[in-house]
């Protein structure tokens, strides 16, 4: 769950976040935990081919805003793939025409709303290795439910 009260984006803002990720116009300060989920949900619904390539989008976006994708910072393959699986599972639990803002609010109201949710499935020592940043690493605490 999100530990503080935040204003969640509208459907139009979710679309802007996803487009900003893809075309590198999203301000770096707006690439938040909520924005990651918003972009994933929008891409899964509206551009599934681009959702499958979300890793490339995040890597190029990071570089476009002055970030780096290294062994200790930037893009993280295991977290991204797990998040996409979680987002797809969550999206499938809602009507195909459900507003994404409602899907996002529902997703964030559970354990996925906490930025450290992957630590329920991976030990920190496993998840934050260079290997897990570069490629998929299977969970070592519990199987993913999605």
* Residue 3: pLDDT over 80: no
Nearest of 87, 76, 85, 117 to residue 18 by alpha carbon = 87
CA–CA separation, 93 vs 81, rounded Å?
19
Task: Examine residue 5 and state whether it is found in any structural domain, yes or no.
Answer: no
Provide the token pair at 117: 């949710």
**What is the span of the domain harbouring residue 103?**
49-146
CA–CA separation, 82 vs 67, rounded Å?
22
> pTM score, two decimals?
0.94
Contact 137, 127 (CB under 8 A): yes
**Widest Cα–Cα separation across the chain:** 40
Contact 71, 133 (CB under 8 A): yes
Task: Examine residue 66 and state whether it is found in any structural domain, yes or no.
Answer: yes
Q: Residue 4 — very low, low, confident or very high, per pLDDT cuts 50/70/90?
A: low
* Number of domains observed in the structure of the chain: 1
What is the reported pLDDT for 6?
78
Task: Examine residue 18 and state whether it is found in any structural domain, yes or no.
Answer: no
Task: Examine residue 36 and state whether it is found in any structural domain, yes or no.
Answer: no
Instruction: Kindly report, residue by residue over 49-84, the tens digit of the pLDDT.
Output: 999 999 999 999 999 999 999 999 999 999 999 999
Task: Examine residue 7 and state whether it is found in any structural domain, yes or no.
Answer: no
Task: Examine residue 41 and state whether it is found in any structural domain, yes or no.
Answer: no
């Amino acid at each position: 769950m999100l530990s503080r009260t935040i204003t969640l984006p509208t459907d139009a803002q979710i679309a802007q976040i996803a487009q900003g990720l893809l075309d590198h116009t999203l301000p770096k300060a707006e690439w938040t935990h909520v924005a990651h989920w918003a972009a994933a949900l929008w891409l899964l619904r509206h551009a599934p081919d681009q959702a499958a390539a979300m890793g490339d989008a995040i890597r190029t976006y990071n570089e476009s805003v002055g970030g780096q994708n290294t062994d200790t910072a930037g893009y993280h393959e295991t977290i991204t793939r797990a998040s996409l699986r979680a987002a797809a599972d969550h999206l499938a639990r809602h009507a195909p025409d459900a507003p994404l803002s409602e899907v996002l609010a529902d997703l964030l109201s559970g354990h996925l709303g906490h930025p450290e949710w992957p630590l329920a499935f991976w030990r920190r020592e496993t998840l934050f290795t260079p290997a897990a940043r570069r490629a998929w690493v299977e969970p070592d605490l519990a199987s993913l439910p999605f």
